Amino acid sequence: MNHSIGNYWFEILLGVIAFIVIFYRFWTKNYNYWKDRNVPYVEPVFPFGNTKDFILSTGFIGLVYKDLYLKLKGHKYGGYYFMRRPGIILRDPEVIKQIITKDFNYFTDRGITIDEKNDPLSAHLFNLGGEKWKKLRNKLTPTFTSGKMKTMFHLMKTCSKQFERSLKDYAEREAVIELKHFTARFTIDIIGSCAFGLDIDSLNDPDNEFYRISKGIFGLSIKMYIRNALNSIIPGITKTLGLKLTPKDREEFFFRIVRETVDYREKNKVTRNDFLDLLIQLKNGHSITDDNEEKSNHEMNEISKNLHKNNEDSGHLLDQNSTDDLILTNELMTAQCFVFFIAGYETSSTTLNFCLYELALNKEIQTKLQEEIDKVLAKHNGEISYESLKDMTYMDRVVQETLRKYPPLSTLTRECVTDYKLKEANLEIKKGLRVAIPLYGIHYDPEYYPDPDRFNPDNFTEEAKKSRHHYTWLPFGEGPRNCIGMRFGLLQVKTGLATLLSNYNFDQIPETQVPIVLSAKSILTTPKDGIKLKILKRQK
């Protein structure tokens, strides 16, 4: 009897050992991928590959890729592994330019799994790929031209006045504030007004529904880790299993808001010249024109040209002869409103936070920027306007330096859609391989930015920019797939800065974290413990 029990447990043990061995071999069989191709690479560690700190939430993803960038120093590119999936890190600015701009038709997609049927909010411009992305981008490009931004600016200005008033009492008391509490509400109010036509006023309504639904939207949940692990094993399996990116409460909220707003506007013939108005025009088959139409058409032509360049040679999935136009359904329209909201509010508020943080640490720069703001506003009757912000050239440099040190999206990714060979660099990339461009590696490379940890707006004088490769500053990406909302985001940040710095000073306090620690639990560049500063009323 005891002998039988012993054999039973022995067989179980053998089975467990066999399973572990088979699993280990399956998981690590790709770990020779780059070695077999004689490509420089960073040695992977089972089972995390080269992304252990990201998987275990012990390190910010941007710094994980920065570490890979540094380990591949001396090479134009190199291999790495996301868990078991091989990918390639690009280091050389000219190689980056070749892949994301010149040979864009090979790298049109980001490699993000979307499920339009079960997870409709995932089908937005940032995630989509191929022909559908191109058609949607063509349709949406005119909504973000300078002319449209100028039309929407009065909505931003109203929100900025509320922003200033909400901080007045704190400044008079010289209080310590948590920046995110205010800047996030400011940008949410702008997005609510410019995208949905709603007077949200979350600055005065702490329990506002928009603010509550936005919390943790870029956090890395257990579900997100499971999705990443499954997609690493079998790309696209999460769609088969029906695992959604968007929580149900957020999905229901955005569909309700968009449906109610569109129904009300169409029934009552209401127009606001905001983002949703433009989407309604597209949904109803109207084209969008702009006073900057020539430039808009040029950009769309460039996208189309890059997509179809070398199409015959590459065998790319896009069909040049396709004449079917994209129908902007309610689902597709809501998905665009969703990404406009989440990208527009979070990235802009975070950039504003980091900018004020650096200005508090570098008071001479804060003073110099305030002097420019005062001088320019004096020429514009004391009014913050679209035109007055354009005249603030030192502010441009301050914002660009902030985006260098703290790019909201720390890593650009592209997926190869058909086999590709970059002859100049002797590099072959197979279909399905992920390409990563580590912005923290490039933006902090002393070869491009001397003393990169120092906040130095002079990195962006015209002379300094001409001295380095254009593709060494990429907070908005580059090429046909660059950030379509760049103008809008920059306008939000500059409006917020001009409003605050014309009225208030910001000082660091003992609780201000120096140097700042970035959160490992967010896919965007976010301070781990927030940013606390003292706010004081300016004595002009």
DSSP type of residue 179: H
pLDDT of 523 strictly over 90: no
pLDDT of 474 strictly over 60: yes
C-alpha–C-alpha distance, residues 227 and 224, integer Å:
5
pLDDT of 9 strictly over 90: no
- Window from 22-36, 158-172, 208-222, 423-437 with minimum mean pLDDT: 208-222
Which pairs count as long-range contacts for 305-313, CB under 8 Å and 24+ apart, including other chains? 306/101, 306/104, 306/105, 306/479, 306/480, 307/104, 307/105, 307/108, 307/134, 307/480, 308/105, 309/103, 309/104, 309/105, 310/103, 310/105, 311/105
Contacts of 532 (CB under 8 A, 6+ apart): 176, 177, 178, 179, 509, 511, 512
pLDDT of residue 24: 86
Tokens of 35: 């070695």
C-alpha–C-alpha distance, residues 505 and 382, integer Å:
18
pLDDT digits (tens, 9 = 90+) for 280-335: 888 887 766 655 444 444 444 444 454 444 443 333 333 333 334 778 888 999 99
Which pairs count as long-range contacts for 460-469, CB under 8 Å and 24+ apart, including other chains? 460/396, 460/397, 460/400, 460/401, 460/404, 461/397, 469/93, 469/94, 469/97
Percent of the chain with pLDDT over 70: 86
Beta strands in 136-183 (DSSP E): 176-178
pLDDT digits (tens, 9 = 90+) for 326-369: 788 889 999 999 999 888 888 999 999 999 999 999 999 999 99
- Window from 17-31, 79-93, 169-183, 288-302 with minimum mean pLDDT: 288-302
C-alpha–C-alpha distance, residues 122 and 375, integer Å:
45
Q: What is the mean pLDDT of residues 382-396?
A: 96
pLDDT digits (tens, 9 = 90+) for 40-62: 999 999 999 999 998 888 999 99
Residue at token pair 């985006």: 403
495, 389 contact by CB (below 8 A): yes
DSSP type of residue 471: G
The single-letter code of the amino acid at 41 is Y
Residue at token pair 């950030």: 483
pTM of the model: 0.90
pLDDT of residue 293: 44
Q: What is the mean pLDDT of residues 524-540?
A: 92
37-537 placed in CATH 1.10.10.10: no
pLDDT of 457 strictly over 50: yes
Give the full edge-to-edge strand order of the sheet including 77-82. Answer: 77-82, 85-90, 434-438, 411-415
Provide the pLDDT confidence category of residue 226 given band limits of 50, 70 and 90.
low
- CA angle 358/364/366 to nearest 5° reads 50
pLDDT of residue 274: 82
Q: What is the mean pLDDT of residues 454-468?
A: 97
pLDDT of residue 335: 93
Please give the residue that has the higher pLDDT: either 475 or 20.
475
339, 275 contact by CB (below 8 A): no
Contacts of 66 (CB under 8 A, 6+ apart): 438, 440, 441, 444
pLDDT of 424 strictly over 90: no
C-alpha–C-alpha distance, residues 23 and 338, integer Å:
39
